[in-house]
């Protein structure tokens, strides 16, 4: 990890810690929200090698177990006002799979002064860009399905920036207009490996978020010696490899509280020749994202997102270059305490490099059905069925393995929220 990232992380955590400590009993109370999600998973695959990438398999679903009790996740959000306009935020996530059980997915300071005309907001630290409309629930979860769309599964596992973000907003209600607008710009460090797991494994569907300094494992695609260097079959998502700044910018348009459109452009501006001591490369990755939500009624809404970009790693004749894109459309209907959601995802990665020994083409689709029922303020239950078919050429590196595979997963989960 570079010195810059270390300093940024240290600064953020120290500021948050001092903010929390300085809050005395009569000052602003800390706001605590959280959830624990557990239940049973049925995920029957034809072959053991279609296990989760977390178990070094080449499948695209998170759970390798069949008929087993799982602790899907634990999420905790902690907010503390330092002043009335400056607040500190921490989001911790716990999982039983992967190599790191506990960690922070977000840690930031937010400054939002009160202004009469245009509104301003400044964030400093590690946080998600607000480019998606699916993951709007506690600890960046989806209130609709348990497994996120392919796009947001990717953002959850591989996009994690440390930097500063500024947003300016013109609130429609305050200006006697049905339209509200926001513009966001950000500069960040870290996230130089973005694109690696997407290119090698392909798109996946899950709800597992990577945390600060987490080492994310995947199948060993490099045991066949197709690269000059021995690459690690893990990646440190929050690593700053090249010392360069990345940027993203977004526009948000909202009609009343009915229609929301978010357009983002993201570029980590990485030096694709930069390399860590363990041979983890920096991946020069940029993409555009358009997210949409429309509430037809208070009960029925449609969400959609499209994301498309490119990634480059290494030298022209020996590196990995690929284009990637994905989209989803979801319809969700809420009646009383029931919420029914159905989502269709389509996704692909197109290889652009000159290295046939390392095949990166992949494409697929998935269908997800979810029913969720709110028992009371603290408890909700639900079931989800997800079917996906993916054709990933990288699977053919192993003798006798087929590129095209279909996988199904059924989840019956209970959420305790506080």
Q: Which residues bind another protein (CB under 8 A)?
A: 28-29, 31, 81, 84-85, 112, 114, 116, 119, 130, 133, 136-137, 143, 169, 171-174, 176-178, 180, 255-258, 295, 298
Joined tokens for residue 229: 């260097």
Q: How far is the CB of 259 from another protein (least distance, A)?
A: 9
CB 197 within 8 A of CB 53: yes
16/60 with CB nearer another protein:
16
Q: Rounded distance, CA 170 to CA 263, Å?
A: 16
57/75 with CB nearer another protein:
75
258/352 with CB nearer another protein:
258
Joined tokens for residue 154: 């990717």
Q: How far is the CB of 123 from another protein (least distance, A)?
A: 14
Q: Rounded distance, CA 216 to CA 159, Å?
A: 12
The Cα angle at residue 350 between residues 328 and 273, in degrees rounded to 5: 115
* Coil, strand or helix at 155: helix
How many alpha carbons lie under 13 Å from residue 29 in its C-beta half-sphere? 3
Q: How far is the CB of 111 from another protein (least distance, A)?
A: 11
Q: How far is the CB of 166 from another protein (least distance, A)?
A: 16
3/114 with CB nearer another protein:
114
137/323 with CB nearer another protein:
137
CB 391 within 8 A of CB 8: no
Q: How far is the CB of 6 from another protein (least distance, A)?
A: 30
144/347 with CB nearer another protein:
144
186/231 with CB nearer another protein:
186
Residue 152 DSSP one-character state: H
Joined tokens for residue 186: 């950000």
Residue 275 DSSP one-character state: B
User: Considering only CA atoms, which of 256, 317, 262, 264 is closest in space to residue 287?
Assistant: 264
Q: How far is the CB of 105 from another protein (least distance, A)?
A: 15
Q: Rounded distance, CA 360 to CA 202, Å?
A: 8
Question: How many Cβ atoms sit within 10 Å of the Cβ of residue 402?
Answer: 12
Q: How far is the CB of 115 from another protein (least distance, A)?
A: 9
């Amino acid at each position: 990890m570079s010195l810059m990232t270390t300093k940024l992380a240290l600064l953020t955590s120290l500021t948050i810690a001092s903010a929390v400590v300085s809050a005395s009993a009569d000052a602003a109370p800390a706001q605590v929200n959280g959830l624990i999600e557990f239940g049973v998973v049925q995920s029957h695959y034809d072959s053991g090698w279609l296990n989760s990438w977390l178990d070094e398999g080449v499948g695209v679903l998170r759970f390798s177990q069949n008929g087993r009790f799982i602790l899907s996740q634990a999420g905790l959000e902690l907010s503390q006002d330092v002043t009335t306009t400056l607040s500190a935020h921490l989001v911790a996530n716990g999982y039983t799979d992967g190599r790191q059980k506990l960690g922070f997915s977000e840690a930031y300071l937010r400054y939002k002064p009160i202004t009469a005309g245009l509104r301003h907001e400044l964030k400093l630290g590690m946080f998600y860009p607000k480019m998606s409309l699916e993951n709007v629930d506690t600890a960046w979860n989806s209130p609709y399905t348990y497994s996120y769309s392919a796009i947001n599964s990717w953002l959850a596992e591989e996009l994690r920036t440390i930097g500063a973000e500024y947003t300016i907003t013109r609130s429609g209600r305050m200006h006697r207009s049905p339209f509200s607008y926001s513009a966001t710009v950000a500069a960040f460090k870290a996230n130089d490996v973005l694109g690696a797991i997407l290119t090698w494994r392909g798109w996946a569907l899950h709800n597992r978020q990577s945390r600060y300094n987490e080492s994310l494992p995947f199948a060993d695609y490099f045991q066949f010696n197709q690269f000059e260097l021995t690459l690690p079959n893990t990646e440190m998502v929050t690593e700053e490899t090249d010392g360069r700044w990345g940027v993203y910018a977004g526009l948000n348009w909202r009609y009343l509280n009915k229609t929301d459109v978010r357009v983002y452009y993201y570029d980590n501006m990485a030096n694709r020749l930069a390399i860590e001591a363990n041979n983890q490369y920096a991946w020069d990755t940029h993409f555009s994202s358009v997210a949409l939500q429309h509430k037809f009624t208070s009960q029925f809404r449609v969400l959609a997102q499209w994301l498309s970009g490119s990634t480059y790693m290494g030298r022209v004749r020996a590196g990995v270059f690929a284009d990637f894109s994905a989209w989803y459309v979801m319809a969700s209907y809420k009646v009383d305490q029931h919420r029914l959601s159905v989502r269709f995802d389509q996704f692909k990665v197109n290889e652009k490099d000159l290295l046939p020994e390392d095949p990166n083409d992949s494409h697929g689709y998935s269908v997800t059905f979810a029913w969720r029922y709110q028992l009371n303020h603290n408890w909700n239950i639900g079931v989800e069925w997800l079917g996906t078919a993916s054709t990933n050429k990288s699977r053919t590196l192993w003798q006798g393995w087929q590129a095209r595979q279909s996988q199904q997963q059924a989840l019956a989960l209970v959420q305790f929220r506080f």
